[in-house]
Amino acid sequence: MPSRRLSVVVTRRLPEPVETRMRELFDVRLSESEAPMPREALAEAMREADILVPTLTDVIDAPLLAGAGDRLKLIANYGMGVDHIDVATARQRGILVSNTPGVLTEDTADMAMALILAVARRVPEGMAKMQEGDWPGWAPEALLGMRLRGKRLGILGMGRIGQALARRARAFGLSVHYHNRRRLHEGLEDPLEATYWESLDQMLARIDVLSVNAPHTPATFHLLNARRLKLLKPSAVIVNTSRGEVIDENALTRMLRAGELAGAGLDVYERGRGVNPRLRELPNVLLLPHMGSATREARLEMGERVLVNMQTFADGHRPPDQVVP
């Protein structure tokens, strides 16, 4: 089947060059709105399209997949994380799922490092003082933070982004510790001089900074629960640029309020719950609106990966970034 006859529904506006190329290659229906597609419109799109291009704001669960038309054969996600797609059910129904790995690695690692630096050095508190006009002048003991050099960074989830963060962290004099489902092979671990902890609990008790870089899966949901968070030193800071669900956000909020952690930098939150208003009230908490991959370059390259996956599929092959459950 020539690729231009495949019908494609894209749920959000994408970078203009990506939309243009898609239109050249496929019969495309683009969302007119900047907002997420309503569920009913998504259900309709899945009945009619050969390829669906969703983003992380579209929850594609079993009931939606059950209503998908026989034509729907590829869900080419614009993004890396696929926790909003029931990949196992899609597979049972013969629908392939692809994502966009690689192209947002460095930018997301930059953001994790930015959060570590900002929270360790109490940037949110300093900014608030300046914005409120509450600065009586330099003082020897004002806003003292944590020196990163010589401290231990624990990385939970040592995939591409975790490794990219480890490279940055070493330049700041942090030693790298990590917990991952599988230990990295020597070729990857040795250049990072990274210490592998099979026991997450043991790692948590020893580190000064924790970065969450693990995807959200049933196995990682609330992996950082109240018990594990309490293993961290009270002087520790925690950052999350992966998915909110990996941390029990209520437990984290309670600990930050009680001064049992020094600070947190969060770019992601538990789906469907909004940002906990209590987090907003806390001084050394830096909250960002999920912008880890928000560079012009990454968002364009994500679109280019989507196109590669779509074209390969249209040519009768498996998309190179196929996700398997």
From start to end of 104-258, where are the E strands? 152-156, 175-179, 195-196, 209-212, 237-240
The answer to whether the beta carbons of residues 76 and 96 sit under 8 Å apart is: no
**Angle (nearest 5°) at CA 144 between 138 and 147:** 125
Q: Which tokens is 280 given?
A: 């907003």
Instruction: Give the shortest CB-218-to-ligand DGY separation in angstroms.
Output: 17
Rg (CA), the chain: 21
Question: Which stretch in 111-119, 156-164, 176-184, 288-296 sits in contact with ligand DGY by CB under 6 A?
Answer: 288-296
The answer to whether the beta carbons of residues 28 and 72 sit under 8 Å apart is: no
Burial class (CB in 10 A: 0-12, 13-18, 19+), 15: middle
Applying CB under 6 A, which of residues 292, 307, 309, 319 lies at the interface with ligand DGY? Answer: 292
- Helix or strand run (H / E) with residue 228: helix 226-229
Applying CB under 6 A, which of residues 293, 309, 311, 312 lies at the interface with ligand DGY? Answer: 293
Instruction: Give the shortest CB-325-to-ligand DGY separation in angstroms.
Output: 17
Instruction: Give the shortest CB-221-to-ligand DGY separation in angstroms.
Output: 16
Instruction: Pick the closer one to ligand DGY by CB: 39 or 290.
Output: 290
Report if residue 80 touches ligand DGY, rule: CB under 6 A: yes
The distance of Cα 66 from the centroid of its chain, to the nearest Å, equals 27
Report if residue 79 touches ligand DGY, rule: CB under 6 A: yes
Question: Which stretch in 2-10, 74-82, 147-155, 168-176 sits in contact with ligand DGY by CB under 6 A?
Answer: 74-82
Which residue, 217, 241, 256, 218, is CA-closest to 289?
Answer: 241
Give the separation between CA 193 and CA 175, rounded to whole angstroms: 8
Instruction: Pick the closer one to ligand DGY by CB: 104 or 119.
Output: 104
Applying CB under 6 A, which of residues 10, 46, 58, 81 lies at the interface with ligand DGY? Answer: 81
Question: Which stretch in 62-70, 198-206, 251-259, 289-297 sits in contact with ligand DGY by CB under 6 A?
Answer: 289-297
Question: Which stretch in 79-87, 199-207, 221-229, 255-263 sits in contact with ligand DGY by CB under 6 A?
Answer: 79-87
Report if residue 162 touches ligand DGY, rule: CB under 6 A: no
SS in 3 state form for 172-191? CCCEEEEECCCCCCHHHHHH
Give the separation between CA 121 and CA 209, rounded to whole angstroms: 12
CB-based contacts of 140, cutoff 8 Å, min separation 6: none
Q: Taking CB under 6 A as the rule, which mask of x and - marks residues 104-143 in contact with ligand DGY?
A: x---------------------------------------
Q: Crossing angle of helices 105-120/123-131, nearest 10°?
A: 70
Report if residue 265 touches ligand DGY, rule: CB under 6 A: no
Question: Which stretch in 10-18, 78-86, 126-134, 187-195 sits in contact with ligand DGY by CB under 6 A?
Answer: 78-86
Instruction: Pick the closer one to ligand DGY by CB: 8 or 104.
Output: 104
Report if residue 319 touches ligand DGY, rule: CB under 6 A: no
Applying CB under 6 A, which of residues 14, 22, 49, 56 lies at the interface with ligand DGY? Answer: 56
Can you give the binding site for ligand DGY, defined by CB under 6 A? Answer: 56, 79-81, 104, 290, 292-293
